[in-house]
Amino acid sequence: MSDFFSKLEAKRKRAALTESMTIRVTVEEDAIIKELASVFDLTRQDLIHDLIVEYLLPAWRKVESDSTPTAPPPPRDDGCLFHYVLNTNKANSSEDHEAMLSEGIAAAFEDGYKEKIDRIKKSDMVFLYESGKGIVGYGLASGVIEERDHFGVPAKTRFQRLDGFIRLSKPVSAKEICQRLGRTIRFAQTLTYLSDGKVLLESLKG
């Protein structure tokens, strides 16, 4: 019986981490989906979710890996401060995303990504970007590198605390960011340097 309750609890936790989604299809498409679900003894929701896992998520991984890197930051002259957009990793882990926002930290996870936090220096401005929504908060980097476990693996999370962190009540979408800066930016990368980040900051404060 205890094993049964454990399974129910695991299912409840999974459900709590999901979001509902509505799509519109034609009558004919709906009939096909229902028939296909019936053939494989699935609900329509399960069938569509399996298609997302099988096809859409790999497409996202490819976009993420193929994303053209932005121009690297110039040399730091005269104490120049930089502006960065940091992805909150929600596409990979909602827990990572929530930790960054609730704690007001700039973090990256796992080898090959966490090292990017070292580029951020004291008092650099960091905008936190949530996939699918946009910039959701910002603050000034402390300049102090810290590490902690990531899903039980030691030192796989590297982060800096963001002084004066502000969590926005309404996200600023990728489209709005591009409009405010007057250029196109792709935000699939973990860390993006903004040469015109001061313009974005002023628009957020205004």
Q: How far is CA 91 from CA 1, 56, 96, 140, in A?
A: 35, 12, 10, 24
Closest CA to 37 of 16, 58, 51, 27: 51
pLDDT by position in tens, the chain (length 206): 566 656 656 666 555 567 777 888 888 888 888 878 887 788 888 888 888 778 777 776 666 665 555 556 666 665 688 999 999 999 888 999 999 999 999 999 989 899 999 999 999 999 999 988 999 999 999 999 999 999 999 999 999 999 999 999 999 999 999 999 999 887 778 999 999 999 999 999 87
Residue with tokens 């859409």: 56
> Please, are residues 98 and 86 in contact by the beta-carbon 8 Å criterion?
no
β-bridge mates for residue 83, sequence order: 125, 194
Q: How far is CA 201 from CA 11, 127, 144, 198, 205, in A?
A: 42, 9, 22, 5, 6
Query: Is the domain defined by 83-205 classed in CATH 3.30.2420.10?
Result: no
Question: How many DSSP H helices and E strands does the chain contain?
Answer: 7, 7
Q: Where are the domains of the chain?
A: 2-66, 83-205
